[in-house]
Amino acid sequence: MATDAHREFKNRLYGQFARIGKALSSPHRLEMLELLAQGERTVDSLAEEIGLSLANASQHLQVLRQAALVDTRRDGLFVHYRLADPGVCDLYHAIHSVAERRLGDLERLVREHFGDRAGAEPVPMDELLARARSGRAVILDTRPVGEYAAGHIAGAISVPVDDLQRRLRELPRDRKYVAYCRGPYCVYADRAVEILRGKGRQARRLLEGFPEWQAAGLPIHTGLERGAIR
């Protein structure tokens, strides 16, 4: 039977663990972690992306910071937020994984929103790595340019989905394309594949997104390095 001192320790121990759970109990804070997995962001950027007021976004970020899930750096008048360490991204992916396996409501929600993705033949990471090394595919990063600059799949070309129609002339019809974005629930890559196929290109999407690729230890680059398509 536990002593009073050990019981007190256990209560305090699990109280510390519960701080993480409480910080992750908000849909907005989970979405913030997904966005920060793409690269650091300001409060203004996160608020605009998620559709929150600055005050509300700041409050959510303070909860994440108090749970030691995010860090900050100041650049003049702006405060930039980032994930505290790679383990936070792993935790976020673990939540995704358990929810995908256990929550039927999640499966129905995704199916209702995206429809049947089977026809799109998503490309797993190991296949894309092989294609990239052999030059058998052009990899398109369809996220905003700032996220590409913060980190992208090595060899990928930045073509934000909103710019794709305008830049179709840069994408020869005789090449095969693989588009990727923020993750499996991001629509950018799906939209890019739809546009490319509608314009006579062979295109598929990466099954996962950039954070999963980075977490797997696969090659990445940073900076704006717009390459030529050969």
Based on the residue annotation, tell me whether 186 is a catalytic residue of this protein. no
Cβ atoms of 196 and 178 within 8 Å: the answer is no
| Helix, strand, coil % over all residues of the chain, rounded to 5 | 55, 15, 30
Q: Please tell me the predicted confidence (pLDDT) of residue 226.
A: 57
How far apart (Å, rounded) are the C-alpha atoms in residues 158 and 141?
5
CATH class of the structural domain 118-221:
alpha beta
Span 4-88 CATH architecture = Orthogonal Bundle (1.10)
- What residue ranges do the domains of the chain occupy? 4-88, 118-221
Which amino acid would we find at residue 157? I
Alpha carbon 140 to its chain centroid, in Å, reads 15
pLDDT per residue as tens digits for the range 59-69: 999 999 999 99
Which amino acid would we find at residue 123? V
Q: Check residue 123 and report its DSSP letter.
A: B
Tell me the pLDDT of the chain (230 aa) as tens digits.
Answer: 568 999 999 999 999 999 999 999 999 999 999 999 999 999 999 999 999 999 999 999 999 999 999 999 999 989 999 999 999 999 999 999 999 999 999 989 998 988 876 666 799 999 999 988 888 899 999 999 999 999 999 999 999 999 999 999 999 999 999 999 999 999 999 999 999 999 999 999 998 999 999 999 999 999 987 554 54
Q: Choosing from 52, 70, 179, 181, which is the catalytic residue?
A: 181
User: How many residues make up the chain in this entry?
Assistant: 230
> For the whole model, what pTM was predicted?
0.88
SS3 145: helix
Q: Compute the radius of gyration of the chain from its Cα atoms.
A: 20
Q: Please tell me the predicted confidence (pLDDT) of residue 227.
A: 53
How far apart (Å, rounded) are the C-alpha atoms in residues 34 and 38?
7
Which amino acid would we find at residue 85? D
How far apart (Å, rounded) are the C-alpha atoms in residues 203 and 215?
24
Number of Cβ within a 10 Å radius of residue 136? 13
Please report the sign of the dihedral spanned by the C-alpha atoms of residue 151, residue 153, residue 159, residue 164.
Answer: negative
**Rounded alpha-carbon distances, angstroms, from residue 158 to 39, 147, 177, 180:** 15, 10, 13, 10
